[in-house]
Structure 1
Amino acid sequence: MDAESIEGFREFARARFQPLRALAYVTCGDWQAAEDAVSGVLSRLYLRWDKVASPEAYARTAVIRAAIGEKRRPWHREHAVGEAFPDVPVPDRSGDVDEKLRMRAALRQVPPRQRAALVLRYLEGLSIEETAEVLKCSPGTVKSQTSRGLGTLRAVLAAEITEKGVDHVVSHRGRA
């Protein structure tokens, strides 16, 4: 690879690392697995840099597949030492942190393929055809996975609201 290609790859990696990492995280729900997925994809992309027609599409597709694959590996079923420590959310200065945490928790309950379809369609803004290409499935499958994923997400959020309503009523009755 010549110096110009190397610099082109470096610029791409610098610009896209964080968005790809966020995409992987939303897909698999684990920051370490997300970073592993993106690092592996970028190292494979580096080797093929001059041969890949669309690095953005290649990276997005590979990251989604790697993030889904990270959760399927047998070694991942073992508990990591870090799981013993509670997740401490970083405060979001925009005031949306509660909603983001609620949606992230709800999204974790959606099956991986459905979650990937939702992430690609609504967070990445891909079309049905682009999502089908990334997931290596038909547009009809993308539509059904998206529909089912939204249904699951709605059910999870509705159950959460119902539980909060019941807790709220119980706490007020206890004060009387």
Structure 2
Amino acid sequence: MAEVTDGEFTAFVNERGAALLRVAYALAGNQHAAEDLLQSALAKAYARWPRIRGDAEPYVRRILYNDQVSGWRRLSRRREVPVAVLPEQAEERDGGYDADLRLLLREALRALPPRQRAVLTLRYLEDMSVEQTAAALDCQPGTVASQASRALARLRQLVPAFDDLVTRPEVNR
């Protein structure tokens, strides 16, 4: 068995850690849970590093998805997700209508059931196909399509200006 090289793993985490944290945040719904989820995934990846070093990022992403889904299945571990935006967080955002709309969308995403949030994360943040999303979540493509449809409909209910936000090119960054 090949030896784990800390330098390679550290370089991988330094290079891809921010992108992986964004995915974890989209799945978990808050910063602390995302950091915990990513830390757990990286610990698992480190233990298997000699086998995965060439294909590490997809492996870590799969761990993130699987760990988050496993957490959802443990109903007794459900935690409340804070929905209030702290004043200092609101000040960091750029001003105006677009910032307010983004904050509303963020709160609406947190209000979605975890499975729907995962489907939206994989489909639109990770830009996966329906089939890839179904494989990542271990479900049928029809389930992905229906969950995405329900999630988008719910977002439109919660944020009436949702269609404006996602169709205006200057807002999509």
Q: Please report the TM-score for the alignment, with normalisation by the length of structure 2.
A: 0.74
Name the CA distance, whole Å, in 2 between partners of 1:86 and 1:118: 22
**CA 76–143 in structure 1, closer or farther in 2 if over 3 Å, else same:** closer
2:3 counterpart of 1:11: no
Name the CA distance, whole Å, in 2 between partners of 1:10 and 1:18: 13
The alpha-carbon deviation at position 139 of structure 1 amounts to 1.8
**Alignment: residue pair count:** 155
The one-letter code of the counterpart of 1:56 is: E
Give the equivalent residue in structure 1 for 2:86.
Answer: 87
CA contact (8 A) 1:37 1:70 kept: no
The alpha-carbon deviation at position 13 of structure 1 amounts to 1.0
Deviations 1:134-165 (A, max 9, x none): 111122221111111111111211399xxxxx
The one-letter code of the counterpart of 1:19 is: A
Give the equivalent residue in structure 2 for 1:64.
Answer: 65
Name the CA distance, whole Å, in 2 between partners of 1:15 and 1:8: 11
The one-letter code of the counterpart of 2:8 is: G
Give the equivalent residue in structure 1 for 2:124.
Answer: 122
CA contact (8 A) 1:28 1:70 kept: no
| Unmatched segments (≥5 aa) in structure 2 | 163-173
Percent of paired sites with the same residue: 37
Give the equivalent residue in structure 2 for 1:47.
Answer: 47
Name the CA distance, whole Å, in 2 between partners of 1:7 and 1:66: 26
Name the CA distance, whole Å, in 2 between partners of 1:7 and 1:101: 39
**CA 47–129 in structure 1, closer or farther in 2 if over 3 Å, else same:** same
2:6 counterpart of 1:25: no
- Which consecutive aligned stretches of 4+ in structure 1 deviate over 4 angstroms post-superposition? 68-73, 93-96
CA contact (8 A) 2:101 2:161 kept: no
2:159 counterpart of 1:157: yes
Q: Please report the TM-score for the alignment, with normalisation by the length of structure 1.
A: 0.73
Q: Which structure would you say has the larger Rg?
A: 1
